[in-house]
Structure 1
Amino acid sequence: MIGRLIKYGVMFVVLVLMQVLVLNQVQLSGYINPFIYVLFIMLLPVSTPRYLLLILGFLIGFVVDIFSNSLGIHAAATVFIAFVRPFVISSISTREEDRNEYPGLRQNKFSWFLSYTAIMVLLHHFVLFYLEYFTFSHFFLTFLRVLLSSVFSIFIIVLSQFIIFRE
C-alpha cells in the first residue's frame, strides 16, 4: 500500500513538473500543445474508486492550472476524463478477462492501450481547447488544434510507456 502511494505520488510530481517546465513551453505553430499529465489519471489502477478518481483528477488539473496561470480549464478537463474513464475502459474491453488491474502498455495489448490513450486524450483535449476558447465561432480551427495536439500527445504518451513506465 505504501509502495503504491509513493509510486503514484512520484508519478504525480514528475508528470506535473514535466508538463509545466518543459511541455508548456512547446508550441509548434500555435496548433500543437502536448499535454501528458493526463497519463496520471490514465495509469491509475482500474479498481480505483470513482470518488478518488474525481478528486485526483481535480487535484492534478488544479496544480497544472496554478502553474499555467489558467482559470480552471485543466481541472475541468481532467475531472471530465476521470469521470468517463470507467466507461471508456469497459467499452474497449470486450470481455471481463481482458481487463487488467493496471491499464499500462506492458500489461495490455498495444492496440488496446493505443485506443484507450486515443479516446482519453481526444476527450481531454476537446474539453480543454473548447473551454479555453469558449466559443464555436472558430469551431474547425479549434478542432484542428485538438486533433494535432492529440496526435502529438498520444505519441509522447506511448513513447513514455516504452521508455519510462515499465511496471
Structure 2
Amino acid sequence: MNFRNLISFIFLLLILGLVQILLLKNLALFGVAFCFIYLIGILSLPMQIQHVSLILISFCIGLLVDVFYDTLGLHAASATFLAFLRPYWLKILKPNGGYDDSSNPTLQELGMGWFISYSLPLIFGFCLVFFIADQWGTGGFFGVLNKSLFSSIFTVVLAIIVQLLFFKRRRGI
C-alpha cells in the first residue's frame, strides 16, 4: 500500500468513525435495527493486508468507538471477530482467476452481487457477536437473532448507499 492509499484509508476510517459516533449513536430503526457504518472502513481495506495488521486495525477502531459509546469493549471484540473471519471469507469467495492484486473489496471494484455476498455474512457475524455479548441472558435467542439480522441488513443497505454516493468509480467502468 503506497502512502497516498494509506492516507485515503486513514481519512475514510476517520470520517466513518465520526459519522458513527456523532450521527448514528442513537439511531435505531423500530428499536431493533442499528447501524454500524464504520465497518465499511474495515471491509474496504486492501485484500493483501496482513491478517495480524487487519486484526489490530479493527481492534483499535472498535476500541475507539467503544470509548464514545461506553460499551466496554463490545465493538472492539466484534470488530476483531470480523477481521479474523475476513481473510477466510475472501478465500471462500475467491473467483477462479483469483483477485486482482490492486483491487479493494468495494462495491465499485467488484460489483453489487459480490459485495453483498462478501459484506452481509461478515456484518451478520459482527452483529451476532455484538448482541450476544450485549444481551447475554436478557435478550433471549430470538431477540439477539432479530437484532442481528435487521442490523446487518440496515448496515449493508447504508454501506451500499454510502459507496454509491461517495466512493470514486474505477476507471474504465
Q: Which TM-score bucket, shorter chain as reference?
A: over 0.9
> How does 1:93-132 map onto structure 2 within 5 Å?
93-98=94-99, 101-132=103-134
Report the secondary structure of 1:86's partner residue: helix
Partner of 2:23 in structure 1? 22
Partner of 2:34: 33
> Quick check: 1:76 aligned with 2:114?
no
Structure 2 gap ranges (5+): none
Deviations 1:45-82 (A, max 9, x none): 00000111011010100000001011101000000010
TM-score (norm 1): 0.94
Larger mean CA deviation between 132-141 and 108-117 belongs to 132-141
Q: Which blocks of at least 5 consecutive residues in structure 1 are unaligned?
A: none
User: 1:120 offset after TM fit, Å?
Assistant: 1.3
**Percent of residue pairs bearing the same amino acid type:** 29
Please state how far the C-alpha of 1:135 moved relative to its aligned partner.
Answer: 2.6
Residue 13 of structure 1: how far off its partner (Å): 0.7
CA RMSD of aligned residues (A): 1.5
For normalisation by structure 2, the TM-score amounts to: 0.91
Task: Specify the alignment match of 1:162 in structure 2.
Answer: 164
**Count, aligned residues:** 167
Give 1:54's aligned residue. Answer: 55
Q: 1:99 to 1:83 in 2, by over 3 A?
A: farther
SS state at 1:115 partner: helix
Shift of 1:137: 6.0
Matched, 1:9 2:16: no
